[in-house]
A and B are shown apart, each in its own frame.
Chain A
Amino acid sequence: MASPEPCLVRLETFEGPLDLLLHLIKKNEINIYDIPIAIITEQYLEYLNMMRELNIEIAGDYLVMAAELGLIKSRMLLPKPEPEKEEEEDPRAELVRRLVEYQRYKDAAERLVNFEILERDVFARVGQDKEEQKNQTIKADLWSLIEAFREVCRRMDSSWTDIIRFALETITLDDKIRELISKLRECRTVLFDELFNGSASRFDIVITFLAVLELIKAGVLGAFQDSPYAPIQIVYMGEGVIKDH
């Protein structure tokens, strides 16, 4: 059936040099235990050139393999040493071992994808919380938290540039943790920025932030955002994990 659509050339993407080599071996219908290194090396380099022409960045791993192929090729060309040493190992042996090993896991991966996969082929009851989290929020990572914290600090700094305080700081990290737990237990969700609204000093901000990090680490609080760079919400997750606070 002739199609009016223009011919599309799909460039296969490879997961790495081994994947590309396996592709070339299959394409050329080569026995993996008797790879004609010269031909494969040539095709491999052609492929790299094509990638270069298409402005695809070539990962260093591909170049390392190119060098390895070159080395094997030259070793194959060397005259065989005197037969005093029995059974000189084939220069290709190590590469073949790696290719076969990799092929093994590629096969395993292919089989995995054909399983009856949950949330693709089969479905089960899903907890309410899980469903909501999945649809609406993503977990904020440490860097987002630090970024948000820097923002809080910046705002604070500009609001009291010339006030110098000599108050004795008496609040401890444990106090703050306790305070946060009771606050979050009540209101469940709070915006990260709001946690610092009552903070009177830089010390207070820092200790609040440390307390938040401690509680997230302990699993009592969670940090979520609707999308990357969205405001971070601090959510109360429950205290099943720690008892001593």
Chain B
Amino acid sequence: MEQNYIKKAIECIILVSEKPVSSKELIEVFPDLDKEELKRCLDELIYEWNELSRGFKLYEVAGGYQFRTLSDYSEIIIKFKQSKPFRLSRAALEVLAIIAYRQPITRIEIDQIRGVDSSGVIGLLLDKRLIEMRGRKEVIGRPFLYGTTEEFLQTFGLKSLKDLPTLKELEEIQKSMEESAKVY
């Protein structure tokens, strides 16, 4: 198959898909294509769509590729869809951040970090499928372990968990807290 044809076929697949399309799924459709060729096609597609500077772009998210609108048009899209924009409470964001960086983690461990009970928030995050149970920890009481889902990566537009910004080092926090503290 001609290179140009394949590239356009790939963007068609991505366009009609309701989830990010992974390279693995694409290889199944184009068995003759080797990994490097495919990667090159996808890189070119990302570049070309970016160059066109349209209202949407091709993004790499959650281990796949997806067309997404630019944030400049969010208000209009929300108006059109008459949808409620995605929102999480501060507590939910805190718990989600703790789980994202410390997974797999138990509820008790989360509670210890926050100094407050988190079970309600965990239920909400499970409902929203941002987190999932990952089995049990082999300690007394065998508590559930929680981890983030693929939907978490999709929601926050991350390629993978490695894409999470590194946690601030303790010294950095100390510095930022000291900055806010006036020197007598």
Contacts and interface: CB of A to CB of B under 8 A. Distances in A.
Interface of A: 15-19, 25-26, 29-33, 59, 61, 65, 98, 100-113, 115-127, 130, 139
B116 interface: yes
A119 B94 contact: no
Given A15-B94, A101-B113, A105-B94, A120 B74 contact: yes
Given A112-B96, A112-B97, A118-B86, A16 B18 contact: no
7 smallest CB-CB distances across A and B, nearest first, come from A16-B116, A121-B71, A18-B115, A109-B93, A108-B97, A127-B18, A120-B86
Contacts of A119: 83, 85-86, 155
Interface of B: 15-18, 66-71, 74, 77, 81, 83, 85-88, 90-91, 93-94, 96-98, 100-101, 113-117, 127, 154-158, 165, 167-168, 170, 173-174, 177-178, 180-182
A98 B66 CA distance: 40
A104 B69 contact: no
Contact of A122 (B69, B91, B167): B69
A102 B16 CA distance: 43
Contacts, number: 134
Contacts of A115: 156-158
Given A32-B177, A65-B115, A104 B90 contact: no
Nearest to A34: B181
B71 A125 contact: no
Contacts of A124: 66-69
A109 B17 CA distance: 30
Nearest to B116: A16
